[in-house]
Structure 1
């Protein structure tokens, strides 16, 4: 096995099997020339249990970009699981390439063998570019997969659970920000109508909220407008005249510049790593804007697939996802009482669990 501490370079898959990166327990790399598979599994922290996180299949501009993304995402999963009260560690995986052209059953099976070779230290699930049906194929080669279709013994796509968790989080944040958890009459700018944003739009409209959508993908946009007649569209909702900004696409949309441009009083969405840098939250706070830490708001999907591991019923999982409303309320109340940010309060909650946990999972 070759190890290195270099990670800001391309050619990662040429001669490496593992990277040594101080913030992570292990970072594994795998290349399968026959199928074109180039995959990275980042295990950030397993003190609470095996690392569980989705696999993102995405056409990164470079291998260095892919590595940067998987490192950030896997660290976020550690805090997501801890803050949600789950006995799971943080991990994430990426497959480099365009799933529209590269994905094949053979590649997915090769990826399943790679995951299986890690011996359960990492358990995979779905993410951008990976569906429940894809996970069925991955599961032909490894038991360390959750989120497969019901026909294959899984709990299915976690998009609704994630959306319902964001919806529940938004209710708590609305009560904190506007004085009522009732979302009817509020305007919400949803950024992205993927499998989570699409379902969030439905939940919001059922509650009587006005929804304004930004979506760059033609297929996703068509699906949303077909499903929700009269849906308002905008080129951008970051600076739209709405009460709530809900980032539900890729992360990093909240920068110092966009935090200054945001007109909403509340930011709550499903995207991971919404803040480009942590100090962006300070700018939001200075402007009187409530931000719900993304890894707390979007934990519903993780709660669902974690339920597969402990045999929970659909009703039990739904109740736990709905319970994210109380967890967000506690985070925001703590931040207000202690005169700190919601990000700091959530981080402290997760860190307390991690600090009282045992040793990392063996493997």
Structure 2
């Protein structure tokens, strides 16, 4: 497919939203609803083109299918993007209008916070009548808890020891997730390095955990045990893999790899990669916990199970010779295929019962 061309059939449902009165331009991509309604955040950033925005919505929606399924959650995958409004646009009116478009999906899409949106934005969508998540609590702290569990599991797998004391973790991105991750891992004895395009923010996070800073353009080449991308997507490209000076790659950023071939290149360099849809699932687990009414001890236990899932995938990859990404994707495909088979079986049984009832009635 030519660059800039949109594959409109890539998603189960693709909704384009446009409203002149509020300046809204948005896309909702619902990738798969086999396991339940599509759950995924609303990203509000500026895109170079309409095709770039729509393509990203579809790409992120597919990643949410993997994340929700692998975490054992009763949700499919979806995502939406909103073209960042001009400064003079009424943001509240825009978010409420987007909420009205969400209603039109008939419950097939449940939005949450993402890059460029906040709890307040989601509440505005809810005020318009949309079913949303993240309108009361920011899931970022729980995303960090899950990433920390994956980091510990990766270190224990690679080094065949318990604990992370003395290991060096370089966190790229000093936002809410990165800062919380730094504090969590430092408390267990890890040496923390922090990089961010905002040098002052990086310095503040590093100082809070007794760590050091790394220049934003030196992240890939800085020696460390674990590199943890916690900001932008597609940090790792085929061209950048040879530059890496880490032994493990475990982060919170969605779509850490620019494409799947990077997983093979990382394996060839003996760099252990934990697929981001495994490590960063703490936020969606938190969302489900709130919707299901679970208490915090259960929530914490559910999020910490990310560590066990990480360990299982890394062990399976080592035993099979496959990459962790290939192992994890195959598991998701089985989960979805089994759900579809079960659904088809239930429909078939129901049809047989109805036919039997009609036969008895005729008799």
State TM-score, norm by structure 1. 0.88
After TM superposition, list the pairs within 5 Å mapping 1:122-201 onto structure 2: 122-149=109-136, 156-201=137-182
Which has the higher Rg, Structure 1 or Structure 2?
2
Deviation at 1:115, TM superposition (A): 0.8
Q: Pick the aligned partner of 1:302 from 284, 288, 301.
A: 284
**Where does residue 51 of structure 1 map in the other structure?**
38
**Maintained 8 Å contact 1:212/1:233:** yes
Matched, 1:233 2:214: yes
Q: Distance in 2 between matches of 1:264 and 1:118?
A: 43
CA separation of 1:325/1:237 partners in 2, compared to 1, >3 Å: closer, same or farther?
A: same
Q: Distance in 1 between matches of 2:164 and 2:48?
A: 39
Structure 1, gaps ≥5 residues long: 10-18, 150-155
- What SS does the aligned partner of 1:275 have? coil
Q: Pick the aligned partner of 1:8 from 4, 7, 16.
A: 4
Q: Pick the aligned partner of 1:217 from 198, 213, 219.
A: 198
Q: Pick the aligned partner of 2:68 from 71, 81, 91.
A: 81
Deviation at 1:324, TM superposition (A): 0.6
CA separation of 1:6/1:283 partners in 2, compared to 1, >3 Å: closer, same or farther?
A: closer
Q: Distance in 1 between matches of 2:69 and 2:296?
A: 22
Deviations 1:274-307 (A, max 9, x none): 1111011111111111000010111110101012
Q: Distance in 2 between matches of 1:101 and 1:225?
A: 36
After TM superposition, list the pairs within 5 Å mapping 1:33-72 onto structure 2: 33-72=20-59
Higher relative contact order (CA 8 A, sep 6+): 1
Q: Distance in 2 between matches of 1:89 and 1:230?
A: 39
Matched, 1:320 2:302: yes
**Maintained 8 Å contact 1:164/1:203:** yes
Structure 2, gaps ≥5 residues long: 345-363
Q: Distance in 2 between matches of 1:217 and 1:69?
A: 25
CA separation of 1:178/1:22 partners in 2, compared to 1, >3 Å: closer, same or farther?
A: same
Deviation at 1:217, TM superposition (A): 3.2
Deviations 1:38-72 (A, max 9, x none): 11100000000000000111111221211121111
- What SS does the aligned partner of 1:250 have? coil
State TM-score, norm by structure 2. 0.88
